[in-house]
Amino acid sequence: MEQLIITPKTKISDLLDAYPQLEDLLIEMAPPFKKLKNPVLRKTIARITTINQAAVIGKLNVEELVNKLRSEVGQDHADIETDGGTTFNTRKPDWFDAAKVVGEIDTRDMLHAGEHPVHVVLAGVKKLKEGEILKVIAPFLPAPLIEKASSMGAGHWVNQLGDELFEIYFSAPGG
């Protein structure tokens, strides 16, 4: 069997399928990763989240995380070019106005049911008209979702209310 080479683009599910022993190390390095123990989240979120995105969620340096994981499975140290890392807007933007929130999607029930909320949220973002805002509620920072919406031209604001409660506001693409 071909060995999985660990890089920032490696999906968490692929990593843990190839190296299940790394789950405890991930959780030790960043407590938010304890959600990997939840089989539903493991089947949904871990399939689309890369190590780079997980590093952002866990507030870890991606190069250190990748090389720690590589070291644990006997892979050589890698020099990783980073683009400065993905950053998320955590300051209330000028475009935010609670009166302009036209919809709300709570991803917690979808995730609990084993469903991917990504397509539902992105469809909601696409429907926004200029000046409108979509509110998304999530139990963790949904890095892949935010990156995808940003690539579509949507603005975002992450408002963390607790360890497992995030509000993410999206503005209309191009707006």
**pTM (predicted TM-score):** 0.65
Q: Which CATH class for the 98-171 domain?
A: alpha beta
Least confident of 21-25, 40-44, 158-162, 165-169: 40-44
Contact between 46 and 11 (Cβ < 8 Å): yes
102-143 per-position pLDDT tens digit: 999 999 888 878 787 888 999 999 999 999 999 999 988 888
According to the model, what pLDDT value does residue 112 have?
78
8-64 per-position pLDDT tens digit: 889 999 999 999 999 999 888 887 788 778 777 777 778 888 888 888 778 888 888
In the chain, where does the domain assigned CATH 3.30.110 lie?
A: 98-171
Work out whether the CA dihedral 143, 126, 83, 70 comes out positive or negative: positive
Rounded mean pLDDT of 137-163? 87
DSSP conformational letter for 140: S
